[in-house]
Amino acid sequence: MTAPIALTIAGSDSGGGAGIQADLKTFSALGCYGASVVTALTAQNTRTVALVEPASPAMIAGQMRAVLDDLDVRAVKLGMLGGAQAIATVAGGLDGCGLPIVLDPVMVAKSGDRLLPPDAIDALRALLSCATLLTPNLPEAACLLGCAPATTPAQMAEQGAALRAMGAGAVLMKGGHGDGAICTDLLVTAQGATPFSARRLSTRNTHGTGCTLSAAIAAGLAHALPLEQAVGVAHRYLQRAIAAADDLCVGSGHGPVHHFHAVWSHG
């Protein structure tokens, strides 16, 4: 039995909790072979992003050609792209590929450090038309739309529909930045809005949650799951990874979620 191949195009997190590293762990945990295109190097840990060094457009394009010319990729996850040139390069490399694409519009790290320059936001908006699914958190959705963050389910649905109108095939509005005991993500498609809810867990170890969720959805799509089912499987996987996050005790800041919670023994 051959595992389907999922490709992540994103930045490298030297602390291992987010970015390429989180994506590859998620792909492996969910039965996919992971390939990668590195868009940027970061000097990063659980507390801060100290330095970001982007890969050249030529290197990004070269990595994409090397992977897509040889490997039978079944789904693509886009994460931190770094800047307008990188975004344009990725868009060109994926043009006409016919693959399901999950776009996580990474703009700010968990530490608060900016990962996308303001002058690249228009380029990111243009990339929405490539996305089978866009997975913004509430501040990211607001930034893409140029409005205030949603504070109610109705506003989340409206903003998701507005992002679909900008070109995204479907939008998963992530509710992690909201308030209340229940955290709800809202999948907005042409058919309407479907909620995915879970109890909000008390932990500071949530580094890489956005990367992990979008990678998990891409893994589901690589396994040929329908979109709503892929989102459901990914949502449950992430909740369990957050619930087990404190078992890892990595770093002194916002530690990572536990990608291998179903595999590692804690006895």
77 a catalytic residue: no
79 a catalytic residue: no
Nearest alpha carbon to residue 89 among 132, 116, 117, 57? 57
Catalytic option among 206, 212, 220, 255:
206
User: Taking the CB of residue 191, how many other CB atoms lie within 10 A of it?
Assistant: 9
Q: What is the Cα–Cα distance from 10 to 41, expressed in whole angstroms?
A: 10
Catalytic option among 211, 212, 220, 255:
211
Catalytic option among 16, 79, 160, 210:
210
* CA dihedral of 83, 177, 49, 46, whole degrees rounded to 10: -140
62 a catalytic residue: no
Q: Contact 84/120 with Cβ under 8 angstroms?
A: yes
CA distances from 104 to 145, 201, 248 (A): 15, 22, 25
Catalytic option among 15, 16, 79, 208:
208
Catalytic option among 174, 183, 220, 255:
174
Q: Which helix or strand (DSSP H or E) is residue 51 part of?
A: strand 49-54
Token reading at 29: 């945990």
Residues 6 or more apart from 75 whose CB is under 8 A from it? 4, 6, 7, 99, 100, 101, 102, 218, 219, 221, 222
Catalytic option among 130, 209, 220, 255:
209
Nearest alpha carbon to residue 131 among 81, 178, 83? 81
209 a catalytic residue: yes
211 a catalytic residue: yes
89 a catalytic residue: no
Active-site amino acid positions: 174, 206, 208-211
